[in-house]
A and B are shown apart, each in its own frame.
Chain A
């Protein structure tokens, strides 16, 4: 009985410390986002920002299968959509890769030490006029 009381106390302390850490983490994340939210980003993402911050990978994972395997293209979780909104432009007006240092995707991913494999294959910049012009015969 006494032991379990002590245990409860310890769990309580741990919970307080953990919550504080999480709060610190969120504050740091939001700072990052304000710096590099993206050139075309509007007021809101496809879902609430705090939801997106934690669950964007789930949205992308399920919708990628729907798009690729079933051909359903009207999905919320499109990585093309991420890049279209969240890519920043440099002083010359050229898009910067979303996975470049300090940019929208890599900002959080390097902070949280989560590897970012999407851009091993996916385009890191929105399709621009110049790439479209190149496809013209």
Chain B
């Protein structure tokens, strides 16, 4: 992140706090004697995930905030990072028999255009990790599931490959594997006849790291964190900037929010 971007961000934070004095008082009390707020808040922060033996807890709700104004048109860093981390696309030698419409797509970039003004925005689109996921509702076997911390996954042990979840997902976030796999990553099993999608890099989150896409975005357009924790960077940011859920009208309450669209 450039110095200018950091400064812009800091001034945005500052303005918001001047306006919202009640929030500042609350945060001041929450921070206690140290009262260190604001300076140096950036979009690139480490979430306080704990790699514990207790597992996923509903005390947390993992989510993302995507600043589409910072997402540069043509940039595919997040997509490439996901492919290499999870072993699909260019990260794998598999799926050589599938055509481009069949191949897995855990994350993609989408360009949205305001038809009135012609203004365009690029944004990354992947599993939105809904609070009320339609894919889980429709799954006949219980393979499509949501963890206590809000991460939506496919249990491939019991997935029968019916692809009902792919039909139900309003975000077209899921893919089906059409052929035998041989070149998987040990942390991202993939197999013929099962459905898959973004896992929010659950293997990284469980050990306290950020998802690969968030880490790869040097524009600072992606932020990851705990939406349930009012003191997390993402919650603070969400309280100060206007953000939207895509297809909020469907009531799925996605864990991934977008600002600037």
Residues in A whose Cβ lies below 8 Å from that of B145 = 69
With A121-B156, A134-B84, A134-B91: A83-B149 Cβ-Cβ less than 8 Å:
no
B56 adjacent to chain A (CB < 8 Å): yes
A54-99 residues at the B interface, CB under 8 angstroms: 64-66, 68-74, 80, 83
With A71-B55, A121-B156, A137-B81: A83-B91 Cβ-Cβ less than 8 Å:
no
Instruction: Identify which of B108-116, B178-186, B252-260 touches chain A.
Output: B178-186
B28 adjacent to chain A (CB < 8 Å): no
User: Contact string, B116-155, partner A, CB cutoff 8 A, digits 1/0?
Assistant: 0000000000000000000000000000010111000101
Residues in A whose Cβ lies below 8 Å from that of B157 = 64-65, 68
A50 adjacent to chain B (CB < 8 Å): no
With A68-B157, A69-B147: A121-B55 Cβ-Cβ less than 8 Å:
no
Residues in B whose Cβ lies below 8 Å from that of A115 = none
CB-contact partner of B189 in A72, A121, A127, A137, under 8 A = A121
B69 adjacent to chain A (CB < 8 Å): no
| A91→B77 CA distance, assembly (Å) | 38
Residues in B whose Cβ lies below 8 Å from that of A22 = none
Look across to chain B and name the residue whose beta carbon is closest to the beta carbon of A135: B84
Contact A71 B85 (CB under 8 A): no
B216 adjacent to chain A (CB < 8 Å): yes
A99-137 residues at the B interface, CB under 8 angstroms: 120-124, 126-127, 131, 134-135, 137
B53 adjacent to chain A (CB < 8 Å): yes
CB-contact partner of B190 in A72, A121, A127, A135, under 8 A = A121
Known contacts A71-B56, A71-B148, A134-B84; 14 further A-B pairs (Cβ under 8 A): A65-B155, A66-B55, A69-B147, A69-B155, A70-B55, A70-B148, A72-B55, A73-B51, A73-B53, A121-B181, A121-B190, A127-B186, A137-B80, A137-B84
Selected A-B contacts with CB under 8 Å, 11 pairs: A68-B155, A70-B55, A70-B147, A71-B147, A72-B54, A73-B206, A73-B207, A120-B181, A120-B192, A123-B185, A127-B185
Interface residues of B (CB under 8 A from A): 51, 53-56, 77, 80-81, 84-85, 91, 145, 147-149, 153, 155-157, 180-182, 184-187, 189-192, 194, 202, 206-207, 216
